[in-house]
Structure 1
């Protein structure tokens, strides 16, 4: 049931811990992206939220490559 939450299927089997880690990272990316876009459109200081969003995306990609498969980045 957990792979359905990630909306992709790969040939590599994922452990339950890896899936939860990816979900938590993805939630953080989405939340930081929403905060970044809100501050950007309201013309507030976006430096901190932009850096946080960029770091969240980088960490998310690193977690996907380490815990999953590089082909996970395609889906």
Structure 2
């Protein structure tokens, strides 16, 4: 059921802990992206939120590369 929340299906079998880790990281990426866009459009200081958003995306891609396969990064 959890792969449906991640919106991708692959041939690689994932463990339950890896899926929860990716899900939590994806939620953090979305939340930090929303904060970054809000601060950007309201013309507030965006340096800190932009750096946090970039770090979250990098960590998310690292988790996908470690726990998934290269085709997960495409989708």
TM-score with structure 1 length normalisation?
0.97
Question: Secondary structure of the residue that 1:22 maps to in structure 2?
Answer: helix
How many residues matched?
75
Q: How many angstroms does 1:22 deviate by?
A: 0.4
Residue ranges of structure 1 left out of the alignment (5+ in a row): none
Residue ranges of structure 2 left out of the alignment (5+ in a row): none
Separation in 2, partners of 1:30, 1:68: 20
User: CA RMSD of the aligned region, Å?
Assistant: 0.6
Per the alignment, residue 66 of structure 2 pairs with 66
Structure 1 runs (4+) greater than 6 angstroms displaced:
none
Question: Secondary structure of the residue that 1:51 maps to in structure 2?
Answer: helix
**Residue-by-residue CA offset, 1:36-58 (whole Å, 9 max, x unaligned):** 00000000000000000000000
Separation in 2, partners of 1:2, 1:33: 22
